[in-house]
Structure 1
């Protein structure tokens, strides 16, 4: 039985997902209390991570791609979703799906199911609907709009066990930040105090840790040299403080690099493509062997291309099948350095 996490000591990992528009980026600004994204940003080219505080609680916010981004290919979408998983390892404490309350459309009703398809069978147990709103309704009237008046909103929220929170488009107004934190903590308590994890998250975390070990080995001589220099300059408590600072900085740099560059992120789709190409080429050559050597060559090439696509699809299907099984896991939490998670402006 995994050990229960202590909410107060662990950095809260939040995965923010948007269906379209700027809502998820306004939410990130609201949580962090700073303008990480300008109001004009409606999508990002690459998943990214930022760290900060909400009501004094350390928090890491991972922004994935907008799920209905028409400008992003399917392969790019898969890559970015996997990257968002690596950035939120060993698993998120909360998945927040954001919408503009005044712009909910029928297609948005499918979003929770889409999130479940992408992140695993049990992910909705850790999911909450976040609604950005800038209207005149408040209190009970606003609650009635969500849960009684507008059936489509009620249906959307009910898919996440009626968990929702409304925040202002004026994200600098953080009056509801404490309430949001309490809702997340209550949601976690119902799940026994464990962050979300499935087989894909386990693979991602294992790959990230393996990459960390490699990077630590590469930087060992550099770290030892730095420590020797500190020993020549400081003594006693000051030396301990300096050593801890260096170790934390190096650890954060290594973790940041490992989350963005690891074998699970690099090779999973390549494996599917490679296996599919080999199988497809072989089948194409067999089918076209009746045409002679030239037919075998052409058939092998065509079969390889088609098999590569099928292999990628099969690899994706395997990952989704793995995600049907969800387990709990407790793991260490790492101190992150914010600058290593910022993507270039888009």
Structure 2
């Protein structure tokens, strides 16, 4: 058995996704108990990872662009999807799929299909529907209202295995935090305590780990210098404490940077754009040769630009196809790079 499968036993990784509107960002505020996003924000252009506690349990919440955002290009949206996977490695324990309870549309019945296309065909097992509600109903009365509501909402919930939770947009009503955590923990336990993963999550993890090692190597001299200075100022237990704190902070900084910028994010899209540009330029030049040398140059430039854009989109789409045929999750712990700078100091 792969010992990395269950990930961190203490931190829950929650990937919050939404189809439109501010619901997913309001949910993040609700989970963390603080105003991480403005009240009326309806989309973000870049993926974000925030940490905090839900009813005393440590959680990491990952937000990406909404499924139907029109404010960013298709290529940008897919790039941010890739980045959100890097922020959530080795994979989320739960996808919290958010909707506005009062505004469920027929179009939003497509979200299960979009989820499988973006994350892999087995991801629905790890999904829970979260409904944002603006009102004062609580507990059983609120759950009963959902069960008796219109058919699109009930059909949507059934596609996610009947799992759902309702949270109030009014932050004064936070008494159900414990209930939300219990639902999440029961769901994770029913799945054997493992997180979700797929081929692209595994690829993201490998690339992040490589970037971590690269950044640690680049900061070797800086770490050596800092440790030398500490050895002049501290002794015994104080020295150990200072070194532990320093290395933990540097490690967290390196990790965060590697998740946001690594070889997978830098080269995958560039490879698709480059290939598309070359092919587009050649095809454009062939069409342009009809009008002579000037036409070849002009059509070559136009063809390269169009081909580059199409190539970038195609490169990311290939990864989505890999997830659609991926086997059930092979789940991994984050591997920990240890060298002499990150080993406990000798007393």
- TM exceeds 0.5? yes
Q: Which whole-Å deviations, capped at 9, do the CAs of 1:113-140 have from their partners, x for residues lacking one?
A: 2222122222211111111113344444
Question: What is the match of residue 345 of structure 2?
Answer: none
Map 1:143-292 onto structure 2 (within 5 A): 143-286=143-286
Task: String of CA shifts for 1:94-150, please: whole Å, max 9, x gaps.
Answer: 111111211212222122222221222222111111111133444444323323432
Note if contact 2:4-2:334 (Cα within 8 Å) is conserved in structure 1.
no
Q: 2-side partners of 1:196 and 1:120: how far apart?
A: 9
1:328 matched to 2:322: no
Give the TM-score of the pair, scaled to structure 2: 0.88
Change (3 A) 1:105 1:78: same
Contact kept, 8 Å, 2:75 with 2:312, in 1: the verdict is no
Partner of 1:308: 308
Deviation at 1:217, TM superposition (A): 0.8
Contact 2:52 2:58 in 1 (8 A): yes
**Deviations 1:14-42 (Å, cap 9, x if unpaired)?**
11112222211221111111121232322
Kindly state the Cα deviation for residue 10 of structure 1 after the two structures are TM-superposed: 3.2
Alpha-carbon separation, structure 2, partners of 1:319 and 1:3: 26
The residue aligned with 2:33 is 33
Matches within 5 A, 1:114-133: 114-133=114-133
2:43 matches 1:11:
no
CA contact (8 A) 1:4 1:194 kept: no
Identify if the C-alpha distance between structure 1 residues 7 and 331 changes in structure 2 by more than 3 Å, giving closer, same or farther.
closer
Q: How far is 1:291 from its partner?
A: 6.0
CA distance in 2, matches of 1:322, 1:138: 42
Displacement of 1:302 in angstroms is 4.1
Give the stretch that moved more between structures: 190-199 or 289-298: 289-298
CA contact (8 A) 2:30 2:171 kept: yes
Cα distance 1:43–1:235, how it changes in 2: closer, same or farther (>3 A)?
same
* Superposed displacement of residue 294, structure 1: 5.0
Deviations along 1:248-294, one digit per CA (max 9) or x if unpaired, are 10000001111111121122222111112222333444556566655
State the 1:236 CA deviation.
Answer: 2.7
Deviations 1:27-67 (A, max 9, x none): 11111111212323222232211111112221111111122
Distance 1:39 1:122 in 2: 33
Q: Which moved more, 1:56-65 or 1:246-255?
A: 56-65
Alpha-carbon deviations, 1:210-258, whole Å to 9, x = none? 1111110111111122122222222333322222111110000001111
Q: How many angstroms apart in 1 are the aligned matches of 2:209 and 2:233?
A: 33
Q: How many Å separate the matches in 1 of 2:322 and 2:119? A: 10
User: Distance in 1 between the 2:35 and 2:288 partners?
Assistant: 60
List runs of 5+ in structure 1 lacking aligned partners.
335-346
- C-alpha distance 247-282 of structure 1, shift in aligned 2 (>3 A): same
- What is the TM-score of this pair, normalised by structure 1? 0.88
Q: Is the 8 A contact 1:194 1:328 kept in 2?
A: no
Paired residues, number: 334
Worse overlay, 269-278 or 35-44: 35-44
Report the Cα offset of residue 172 of structure 1.
Answer: 4.6
Give the corresponding residue for 2:109.
Answer: 109
- 8 Å CA contact 1:26–1:171 kept in 2: the answer is no
Secondary structure of the structure 1 residue equivalent to 2:49: strand
Instruction: Give the corresponding residue for 1:337.
Output: none
After superposition, the Cα gap between the structure-2 partners of 1:333 and 1:138, relative to the gap in structure 1 and judged at 3 Å, is: farther
